[in-house]
Amino acid sequence: MSMHILVEHVLQTAKENSLWNPHDTIIVAVSGGPDSVALLHVMHEISYKHTPLNLICAHIHHGLRIESDDEAVMVQRMAEGLGIPFVMEAIDVPAYMKESGKGVEEAARVKRYEFLMRTATEYGSRSIALAHHADDQAETVLLHLLRGSGPSGLVGMKLKRTIKNMELIRPLLRIYKTDLMEVCETENFQYVIDQSNLETKHRRNAIRLDILPYLGQYNGQITQSLNQLSNVMTAEDEYVELAAEEKFLELVQRSDGRFTFGVPSFLGLHVALQRRLIKLILNYMSVDSEIIDYNKVESLREAITSSLTTTWSRDLGGGYVCIREYDVVTLQPKSKSHMQRLSYTYQVSTAVSEHMVSEIGKVLKVSIESRTEMSWSKMEVGQYEAMFDADQIVFPLTVRCRQDGDTIKVMGLNGSKKVKNIFIDDKIPPSLRTQIPMILDGNNVIIWIPGIRRSIHAPIHQQTTSVLHLSLEDT
């Protein structure tokens, strides 16, 4: 492949995928290997002859090999020769490995990206160009396949990906390494070979040097086949992702860091959309991608679709929890949970018409009216109202939170019934149970559970002379 054809190919890829706009500032990551050297020259050619771009050559000095100093000097001279600003940073990979517990490859990758992101911010850039090519893509897809990845993993690397408002672009992702090497040789571009890339103790190196050549015995186009798989999965993954986003907008309510949806609507989705919707919500919650694996998503999906247990809470890790309350599922940070028991007690005097219950954001209104001034039609009350024969009620009243062992005598039932069982029978979500107060008379007997039950105590009849009217309202 000639330099001219390579440039035209990259220009076409950039146009089709909107990799950049004229006058963009782009950080070009250059290690000194043939791939990144080719990338820097291609980007320079494009900027000089086709689309004006502000390029910054960024090189990180890992300090892991004795050749690192010479490589840094070579990259700097190359950038200066092209008239491109050069930025370098030396990092202590061994120290970070000791601090983080990560392996050498992962530690170097993390520090490398930290440097690139920081450099982009300093130069006001929104793009970082990386030199990953088609052979890298094949290795990535195979690596993900061996790890048991789902469809999203088989996409491999994307031509453009946004991380923390920064775009990582890969202009060479559809070019094979042999073509890049050919351009470097033809154009006499100086580059270095990292000898550590020949050590099979690193997993990616083993895939490149051992596994891919072995598979090549059965498929001479194995690298191309893996790239085709990536292309197909990219399109299908994007399609499912769009469908999941549409269902998210249709089914999920988002409020104060909580994501809530109904179980019936979730059951109506294809299993692929069920999994993708769960992953999408977890992504919106900024759950660490390392804990969003197949097993976690599938376990959560099966719990949601199960009819055996309809009330549960599950720790998702990373400070997040999923709660199912009958037909409603909520994913939220643990700090947002309403499952904790509230504690409050207020005495209620008829001399005061309104009593604030701040713990639940409600106000209890109290009034006593003459029975002669009320018609029977006015005795019809709403769900959050109750009326009693005032002369049969022992004062003062008390409003308090529910307590273990609470019971109430309800009309039409001989004896008492536990409040807990009433909540279960009425399928009151556990998170809402803490918001429901108990109203007690002076004998410490529950006479009313707003919105749930009225007790048998002090019913209104023809001989009633005064009526106690209670209502619970939002503040």
What pLDDT was estimated at residue 107?
Answer: 81
User: Residue 314 is which amino acid?
Assistant: R
Q: Is 32 annotated as a binding residue?
A: yes
Residue 455 counted as an annotated binding residue: no
What pLDDT was estimated at residue 377? 52
Largest CA distance in the chain: 109
- 59 CB burial (10 A radius; 0-12, 13-18, 19+): buried
**What pLDDT, on the 0 to 100 scale, is given for residue 82?**
95
Predicted pLDDT at 379: 61
Query: Is 291's pLDDT higher than 70?
Result: no
**Euclidean distance between CA atoms 254 and 89, whole angstroms:** 42
Summarised one tens digit per residue, pLDDT across range 68-112 is 788 889 999 999 999 999 999 888 777 778 888 787 778 888 888
In the chain, pLDDT over 90 holds for what percent of residues?
A: 58
In this predicted structure, the answer to whether residue 274 has a pLDDT above a threshold of 80 is yes
Q: How high is the pLDDT of residue 244?
A: 95
Taking the C-alpha atoms of residue 368 and residue 352, their distance in angstroms, rounded to an integer, is: 11
Burial class (CB in 10 A: 0-12, 13-18, 19+), 359: middle
Q: Is the pLDDT of residue 378 over 70?
A: no
Identify the residue with better confidence: 82 or 292.
Answer: 82
Predicted TM-score (pTM) of the model is 0.70
- 35 annotated as belonging to a binding site for a ligand: yes
Q: Which domains does the chain have, with CATH numbers?
A: 3-230 (3.40.50.620), 252-336 (3.30.465.60), 345-474 (3.50.40.10)
What confidence score (pLDDT) does residue 182 get? 94
pLDDT score of 352: 86
Please answer whether residues 447 and 458 qualify as being in contact, where contact means their C-beta atoms are separated by less than 8 angstroms.
yes
pLDDT at 376 over 60: no
Which of 49-58, 222-231, 367-376, 415-424 bottoms out in mean pLDDT, i.e. has the lowest?
367-376
> Is 136 known to sit in a ligand binding site?
no
Query: What whole-number distance in Å separates Cα of residue 306 and Cα of residue 308?
Result: 6
Helices (runs of H) and strands (runs of E) counted in the chain? 16, 22
Between the CA of residue 163 and those of 2, 109, 279, what are the distances in Å?
A: 33, 15, 17
Decide if pLDDT at 222 tops 90.
yes
On whether 375 is known to bind a ligand per the annotation, the reply is no
Inform me whether the pLDDT recorded for 155 exceeds 80: yes
Residue 405 marked in a binding site: no
Distance CA 114, CA 60 (A): 10
Q: Of the ranges 102-106, 291-295, 298-302, 323-327, which one carries the lowest mean pLDDT score?
A: 291-295
The per-residue pLDDT of the chain, averaged, comes to 88
pLDDT at 375 over 70: no
DSSP 8-state code for residue 196: G
% of the chain beyond a pLDDT of 70:
94
